[in-house]
Amino acid sequence: MFDVIVVGLGGVGSATCYALAKKGLKVLGIDQHQPPHGFGSSHGDTRIIRKSYFEHPSYVPLLKSAYSLWQEIESRSQTQLYYPTGLLEIGPGDGDVIQGILRSAAEHHLPIDKWSMQKAQERYPGIGGDPNWQAVFERDAGYLLVEKCIATYLSQAEQLGATLRYHQKMISWAGESHGVQVRLQHETIHAKKLVLCAGPWAQQSLAKYDLPLKVLRKHMYWYQCDTQDYLQSHGFPCFFFDTPDGYFYGFPEHGTYGLKVARHSGGTPVEQVDGTHNRDQEDQQLVEKFLSQYLPNVLGPQANPSALTRWSGCYYTMTPDENFIVDRLPDYPQVVVIAGLSGHGFKFTSVLGEIASHLAMETDCGLDIDFLGINRYSTSKGFAP
Ligand SMILES: Cc1cc2nc3c(=O)[nH]c(=O)nc-3n(C[C@H](O)[C@H](O)[C@H](O)COP(=O)(O)OP(=O)(O)OC[C@H]3O[C@@H](n4cnc5c(N)ncnc54)[C@H](O)[C@@H]3O)c2cc1C
């Protein structure tokens, strides 16, 4: 019998299998596809990682731990996953983003540089923005190679003895007096514990609880630039802008496709999560409007959208307060749930894997995760708060 079954081997599940296998447990990982794949939430080359978290200072201790766990897997696998480009964050000085960064940095003594727009433009001539806005530069930030992170965690988990099964879909699960049973198409498997990390399919894996999760379709765009302004090799960083049209972010030009940019705000609610996406003209227009206003040399003076080299769709799984769900199920404590990463979870997957392993083993992870508890979403069909 397995100690733990992990369902979903994307960002969270791959790291969870590794963390459990490292602790010597007998682990079975199951995925309906073969990760890394392009059907869920963990594809498209890159994910930003940053520490002065504008969303809430409570995430900072988790991030500190996430950074050291990324270092650990890099050195164990001898693979570079993290690229420390720095992150330039720009917006109104009294806006949620700049205020949130300053609050997290102050509370946790994090090093940041505060610049006027003029200073930011002297440093990075390719950027624009309201001259009254403020810029913050986070040196200790950059990006992770998303697919490579998952592939690395899975291969390291296997080397540590985890059994991984691909193209196997969990049809249902049920709690038993001393464990769980997981029903696949052709068999039922028993284990002591279950970790559910199904990403945008979380709602289906937890159907009976009717959690208020909303899946949004999001889009990523790559543009080849006619200038050296945005090259990573010339020191251009990752960027995040708080604009009147919403939040936009992206990555310096590197690799084959050029500069990557996307809209963090917005998104289209979807009912059917099947990994197929349609282009969204309105979203692309907003992204290109953002580029012409704030990174004007990407499209050039002709505002040339044919510089687009690649596009991809992806899913955010949103909770109402946009904080994750990281907990055991109150009515089945042998079942751990990591869900609702709300479009900002990849940077945490190293530490979420570690936390999931502690929740499964009922040991103390040493981090405050009370603010991510599932009881804040007790539902008509679910458990008492
Ligand atoms: C466009 C975009 C940009 C983003 N940018 C950032 C960023 O810059 N920084 C950041 O930190 N985060 C970012 N995020 C968020 C981050 O990527 C996600 O929060 C994270 O990747 C989610 O990981 P996951 O493991 O929850 O889901 P996934 O990686 O999608 O994994 C879920 C897995 O579960 C499997 N599965 C589901 N149901 C079943 C079943 N019944 N049986 C078997 N297998 C099943 C699926 O096949 C899948 O492999 C971004 C997300 C998107 C879409």
Structural domains in the chain plus CATH codes: 2-48+146-213+321-377 (3.50.50.60), 87-139+216-314 (3.30.9.10)
Least Cα distance to 372 among 346, 342, 350 occurs for 342
pLDDT score of 263: 98
In angstroms, rounded to a whole number, what is the distance separating the alpha carbons of residues 187 and 4? 17
- CA–centroid distance, residue 229 to ligand 1 (Å): 31
pLDDT score of 218: 98
- Where the chain has pLDDT below 50, the residues are 380, 383-385
pLDDT score of 269: 97
pLDDT score of 5: 98
Catalytic positions: 43, 46-47, 260, 264, 314, 347
- C-beta atoms surrounding 247 within 10 Å: 20
Candidate from 52, 205, 344 with most ligand 1 atoms within 8 A of CB, to mutate: 344
Atom of ligand 1 nearest to the CA of 14: 25
Candidate from 16, 37, 41 with most ligand 1 atoms within 8 A of CB, to mutate: 41
pLDDT score of 306: 74
Q: Is the CB of 346 under 6 A from ligand 1?
A: yes
pLDDT score of 385: 34
pLDDT score of 367: 98
